[in-house]
Amino acid sequence: MSVLFKFLYSQLFVTPPVPQHDFSGETVIIVGANIGLGLEAARHIARLKAGHLVLAVRTQSKGETAKRDIVASTGISPDAVSVRIVDLSSNKSVIAFSHTIYAEFKKVDALLLNASILPFTFATNEDGVELGVATNVIGTFLLAILMLPLLRVSATIKPVHLSIVASEVHAFTTLPEKKHAHIFNALNVNSPDFERLQERYNVTKLMQVFIARELAQRVDCDRVIVNFLNPGLCHSNLTSTAKGWGSFVVETLKYWIGRTTEVGSRTLVHALSAGKESHGQYLSDCKVEPPAVFVTSDEGVKVQKRLWEELTEILENVRPGILKNIA
């Protein structure tokens, strides 16, 4: 089945089920929880009796607004919802956030990394790294690996979850930058190809799939289940910066076949409750699906190893000794 046909079939004929998992007593952290899919996933988890819900957001005021909305719509106690600040594009912010969580919580049962951006213009973070790569890849996995020790010790009765919101668009690229000696360096160049429709987003989503697969190989699923998911094309703020032809295409597709934000968020909640069969796997429509053909190809396997080696070198420079968190 072609990638396009699977995408259309899923959008038109598949409706993810309403989450029913009982989150009683569980501490759940959702990064990017003040709008869109993250907000609706947080609402579901609050409705499903979460012990404590942490809304990890970039702006305190927006986080507090989201908290009030969730409390009013679900009846969860305000004391069971916290707002904490993190910006995945900033390594300093990610490290500070991890310190905050370790200081305030003795356990974390689920961590949902859902703060990707879709850049349409070239910009860099405080360290001079292109924002899409800094946020969707480096910041995402910096936080994931920083949190692993706490996640691991939280798995006293059953495995905990580390879930990454990926995308079906990982199948729309084969990472052209792989032809360069250093992939991350090549991605940090403002090339004429940068502003092609979603090109950088597709690339970073493929990188997420590769790196999540590699990370899962190093993590014991009896303690931490690592999975990555595709929510489908949904109505959200992800494309708010789109412009020109790109904006027209994306908004037209969303209008005709886009899932509502609430329906799309069901896939996020499912990933946080999926069993060991989801470890190291790509989830789509709330079930395990094979990733793009390129991912498991001979070339893809080599690219996956290269990306892991490059990323871990970057993370070691950011936080010396961080790789010990994986063991």
The whole-angstrom separation of Cα 26 and Cα 160 is 10
Let me know: does 237 contact 35? Beta carbons within 8 Å.
yes
Let me know: does 165 contact 112? Beta carbons within 8 Å.
yes
Of 205, 255, 282, 305, which is the active-site residue?
205
Q: What is the token pair recorded at 315?
A: 């993370």
Of 6, 201, 287, 305, which is the active-site residue?
201
Distance of CA 166 to the CA centre of its chain: 6
Q: Is the dihedral of CA 302, 141, 224, 327 positive or negative?
A: positive
- Phi, psi dihedrals of residue 302, rounded to the nearest 5°: -70, -40
The whole-angstrom separation of Cα 197 and Cα 83 is 34
| 205 is annotated as an active-site residue | yes
Which amino acid is residue 194, in one-letter code?
F
Catalytic residue numbers read 201, 205
